[in-house]
DNA sequence: CCGTTTTAGGATAAATGTATCTCTAAGCCG
DNA sequence: CGGCTTAGAGATACATTTATCCTAAAACGG
């Protein structure tokens, strides 16, 4: 479904949102907490900052933090920033230039399920998830 | 979503189902018809025959054909034979051993959408698709 | 200003997925 | 049987993803 990088990015974003700590958090701390390779996670956060979702600061007491409120960042935003929009635009058979005009046989069935997927991720904010994590002690790591 | 191999396998299976020609069809013919690398497609059909979905015959007038009626083969069968069941069992955050017992924060939302996806593919047979292809001249290739 | 900490960015290595190649085995035909 | 055709299977190349490494740039703290 998602690339490993995207899974890591989602877990890291959910972890940060659950902290309720406004200020920079170092990537090393996040990686160690979630058992994710710190150098790899650094690359992922670079994408998130370049996409404008996070902002970063170097040096001691530096790290990464949300560029806007977790209330205004959806899972969709994170996914697209890391994996690109292909999952929500390209489609099951991978045919070039497909769509309503020249549909493949699956099109009618598939569009009924692709939209709910997109809506789910587009309507769920990091803050929503953070509330769930705190209420039910849900886990982000093994 | 699916691997390229799985996309090719689905397209090939749908093509065969749409033929209404009971008998062996050579992989070379399928590959050339659908613009898919013939050696790679051969590998994919090896998986489908090993999974018991197709049967094969070597030599002239050989090729591959369905091992049981296209009415009894679902898209789910093809997907699992090629990509494995991970898409339908493993889940969004890729956490090991996740599930109802130790859910991640997305679990409740995600299960509402994963089941429809699985049902869609599990309830659609190759014969269903073949009918749609013939009725509406739907395409399988660029 | 200098040493330390931390992200940024590019280069490199390992692993996986995609595609090709070669040889074998099976089947057909004369 | 001998030559041709086709799938099977393993080895090999290529591409992409995943992960690591190294040097720089920015920030802080003495
Ligand atoms: S389902 Fe629709 S959008 Fe997806 S490959 Fe088929 S025609 Fe294209
Ligand atoms: S949604 Fe459920 S099954 Fe999927 S990773 Fe989260 S806990 Fe596991």
Q: What is the pLDDT of residues A6-28, one digit of tens each?
A: 999 999 999 999 998 889 999 99
Predicted TM-score (pTM) of the model is 0.92
Residue B142 maps to a domain = no
Q: Is residue B52 part of a domain?
A: yes
- CATH code, domain with A70: 1.10.10.10
Q: Is there contact between B32 and strand C, defined as CB under 7 Å from any strand atom?
A: no
Given a contact cutoff of 8 angstroms between Cβ atoms, the answer to whether A75 and A10 are in contact is yes
With a 6 Å cutoff on the Cβ, whether B106 touches ligand 2 is: yes
Judged by CB atoms closer than 8 Å, whether chains meet at B113 and A109 is answered as no
B48: tokens are 């489908």
**Residues B33 and B45 sit within 8 Å (Cβ to Cβ):** no
Whether residue B67 is contained in a domain is answered as yes
Q: Give B107 CA → D20 C1' in Å.
A: 32
| B102 vs A contacts (CB less than 8 Å) | 139
In a domain, A115, yes or no: yes
Residue A141 in any domain: the answer is no
- B1 min Cα distance to partner chain A (Å): 5
Ligand 2, atom 8, residue with closest C-alpha: B98
Whether A57 and A45 have beta carbons less than 8 Å apart is answered as: no
Please give the residue of chain B at the shortest CA–CA distance from A128. Answer: B105
The set of residues, in sequence order, having a beta carbon less than 8 Å from that of A9 and lying 6+ positions away, is A44, A45, A47, A48, A78, A81, A82
Q: What pLDDT does residue A36 have?
A: 95
pLDDT surpassing 70 at residue A65: yes
Asked whether residue B128 is assigned to any structural domain, the reply reads yes
Q: Is A79 within a domain?
A: yes
List pLDDT tens digits, range B19-76.
988 899 999 999 999 999 999 999 999 999 999 999 999 999 999 999 999 999 999 9
pLDDT in tens, A94-141: 776 677 777 777 888 888 888 999 999 999 999 999 998 888 766 767
Q: What is the DSSP letter of B70?
A: G
Provide the domain count of chain A. 1
**Would residue A125 count as lying in a domain?**
yes
Query: What's the rounded Cα separation, in Å, for the pair B104 and A138?
Result: 5
Half-sphere exposure of B114 (CA within 13 A, CB side): 16
Q: Chain C bases under 7 Å from protein CB?
A: 4-10, 17-22, 25-29
Full domain range(s) for residue A126:
4-136
């Amino acid at each position: 479904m998602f690339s490993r990088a995207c899974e890591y990015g989602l877990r890291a974003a959910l972890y940060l949102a659950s902290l309720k700590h406004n200020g920079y958090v170092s990537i090393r701390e996040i990686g160690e907490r979630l058992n994710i390779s710190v150098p790899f996670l650094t690359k992922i956060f670079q994408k998130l900052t370049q996409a404008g979702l996070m902002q970063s600061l170097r040096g001691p007491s530096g790290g990464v933090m949300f560029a806007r409120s977790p209330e205004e960042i959806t899972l969709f935003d994170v996914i697209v920033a890391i994996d690109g929009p292909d999952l929500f635009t390209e489609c099951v058979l991978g045919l070039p230039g497909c769509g309503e005009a020249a549909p493949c046989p699956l099109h009618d069935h598939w569009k009924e399920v692709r939209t709910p997927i997109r809506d789910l991720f587009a309507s769920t904010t990091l803050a929503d998830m953070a509330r769930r994590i705190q209420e039910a002690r849900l886990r982000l790591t093994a």
